[in-house]
Amino acid sequence: MRRRSTSLKVLALTGFAFLYLPILTMVVLSFNESRLVTVWSGFSPKWYGELLHDDQILGAAMISLKIAFISASLAVVLGTLAGFALSRFPKFRGKVALTGMVSAPLVMPEVITGLALLLLFVAMESLLGWPKGRGVVTLIISHVTFCMAYVAVVVQSRLADMDGVIEEAALDLGARPWRVFVDITLPMIAPALVSGWLLSFTVSFDDLVISAFVSGPGYSTLPMVIFSKVRLGVSPEVNALATMMIVVVGIGVVLFTWNAARLHRMRQREERAAAAGL
Amino acid sequence: MSGGDQTAAQAVPDPGVASRPRTGSVLTRLKHRLPLPRGLGQGMVSGIPLGWLLVFFLLPFGVVLKISLADTAIAMPPYTALLDWDGEAVATLQLNFGKYLFLLEDTLYLSAYAGSLKVAAVSTLFCLLIGYPMALFIARQPAERRPLWLALVILPFWTSLLLRVYAWIGLLQHNGVINNILINLGIIDQPLVMMQTDFAVYLGVVYTYLPFMVLPLYATLEKLDETLLEAAADLGSAPWKAFLTVTLPLSRPGMVAGSMLVFIPAVGEFVIPALMGGPDTLMIGRVLWDEFFNNRDWPMASAVAVVMMVVLVIPVMLLRNGQNKTAEHG
């Protein structure tokens, strides 16, 4: 297999270059002194300074961070309940409906989800008087709805990988279902909860289309501000902002991968030690 | 709900009796509080997310359907009521199919649906062509190096879609990086027109959705039994022939899953055609957006959404469920 892999390697590395070339260009251009973004005139970090004094961007970033934090946390709770019910309850009323609905937001075109949620909020406001207007509440409800799908999928696959033997043993020994869940299930699915939260946070922080539909005047999230800036043309500040976001995400992914690899090696060592002990 | 009781739970002695006489701090009493009836506890675990999704995911589509049958009105919200109370107890139901008729009459909508399908289909094909070698390459790496390559695929996926599209604008635009380089090298005299073209839209969609193709493909290829390929080689099959007859057919589930993950969102894509496409790049997501935000025609936007759901999303989702079921049973 190894011999013929040269052509495969070339094709694959071309694919990776395709993925990274635009990102790398953007990072380099963020240090360009010229306002004409794509004409190089010298190295300068000045756009980062300007970025830190741009109140519009900073304000929008704060709104986005707040909404992403709350949405991701609520989505982890709801998504874990959904994932747990789907993989651990043999049957319950509405299982088919939950199975279908929990993954549907992942593939639903965003323009449809956004429009549908906005029309719902408008109808609810005129019928029930809640939610009043559109802003933080409507943004959070919408983000939770599509983020919980990610959490449910991650939790469900994690639970499917573990058999329920330990949980059953605890139940047999008289532990109540709630205690079994808190003491056994939760610690075992903790990694899935962490990745579900991170995924939800990122997806919520990045969302443009659904947010544009459901937010009201005065509540512009960061992607909405970037979108309106980009529509007017490329701007060196956006390059700087993008670079900062890529660096943060990059560090996160590297740490996560490194940690996963470390745990993997640790488990392998333990397994070898256990095998040697036998 | 009683059907959900696990057999194991029957071994639990009734804890209510034991915990009631216990005294002590609030905390211990809370810990040993009367448990909810088992059926109710389970009902809440499944009921809360189910209820949330019914209200905030299913119900909205009912509202969209309802408003698509209303007529546009100069009011807030800008549509007419379906039910009219004429003073007394008599209500009249007014259904208006005018928006759907208009969808069929005006070629703008039909060509936008067709355009979205074309962009999504062609982009899916290119994602498959570019993503397959990447997935196969990662799957053939030594186990300890795979997480690194996977992280390289996932990293762009974790960064903002908007910013990745933006990165291409800097490369493709009139005085962008590519044109500057080509002119400085003397390859071209005039800048190439790449932005605001269909080419830019295809490029943007392929670039954005490539990780969605690579990850499911890798998941299938990783599980592939290497001994099958060795057997094929032992029996004298050339590597490319073994690939065509063994690897490719066995990786079909990954190809299908990846294609769905690329195709469906690509059909409704708004950001990429809005930022990279020209005025004549017709895609249905953009048409819906314009109907809503620019024309303020909520019923028309709803009708566009309903047709997109019925024609594109539901069939593809049913197909996907069918695929999953056959994969489980097969």
Cβ of B133 within 8 Å of Cβ of A8? The answer is yes
Flag whether pLDDT at B236 surpasses 60: yes
Task: Please state the ipTM of this predicted complex.
Answer: 0.87
Measured between beta carbons, the chain B residues lying within 8 angstroms of A91 are: 3-4
Q: SS3 sequence, A194-223?
A: HHHHHHHHHHHHHCCHHHHHHCCCCCCCHH
Query: Please, what are the domains in chain A?
Result: 62-231 (1.10.3720.10)
For chain B, domain boundaries = 2-67, 106-296
Cβ of A249 within 8 Å of Cβ of B133? The answer is no
H or E element: which one contains B218?
helix B198-223
Among A108-117, A247-256, B184-193, which range has the highest average pLDDT? Answer: A108-117
Rounded Cα distance, A8 and A11, in Å: 5
Q: What is the pLDDT of residue A276?
A: 79
Measured between beta carbons, the chain B residues lying within 8 angstroms of A145 are: 52-53, 56-57
Q: Which pLDDT band, with edges at 50, 70 and 90, does B330 fall under?
A: very low
Cβ of A22 within 8 Å of Cβ of B49? The answer is no
Chain A's closest residue to B144, CA to CA, is: A261
Which residues, listed in sequence order, are joined to residue B91 by a DSSP beta bridge? B85
Nearest by CB to residue A172, choosing from B8, B161, B292, is B8
A window 152-181, beta carbon within 8 A of B: 152, 168, 171-172, 174-178
Q: What is the CATH number of domain B106-296?
A: 1.10.3720.10
Rounded Cα distance, A245 and A247, in Å: 5
Tell me chain B's radius of gyration from C-alpha atoms: 28
Flag whether pLDDT at B292 surpasses 50: yes
B window 193-212, beta carbon within 8 A of A: 207, 210-211
Nearest by CB to residue A176, choosing from B15, B57, B138, is B15
Q: Could you give the 3-state DSSP secondary structure of residue B221?
A: helix
| Interface residue of B32, B38, B113, B134 to substitute, partner A, most A CBs within 10 Å | B134
Encode pLDDT of B257-269 as tens digits: 899 889 888 998 9
Cβ of B136 within 8 Å of Cβ of A12? The answer is yes
Q: Which pLDDT band, with edges at 50, 70 and 90, does B83 fall under?
A: low
Encode pLDDT of A38-83 as tens digits: 677 888 888 898 888 989 999 999 999 999 999 999 999 999 999 9
- Residues B298/B76, Cβ–Cβ less than 8 Å: no
Measured between beta carbons, the chain A residues lying within 8 angstroms of B305 are: 111-112, 115-116
Measured between beta carbons, the chain A residues lying within 8 angstroms of B6 are: 90, 168, 171
Rounded Cα distance, B267 and B112, in Å: 10
Flag whether pLDDT at A148 surpasses 80: yes
Q: Could you give the 3-state DSSP secondary structure of residue A15?
A: helix
Chain B's closest residue to A97, CA to CA, is: B50
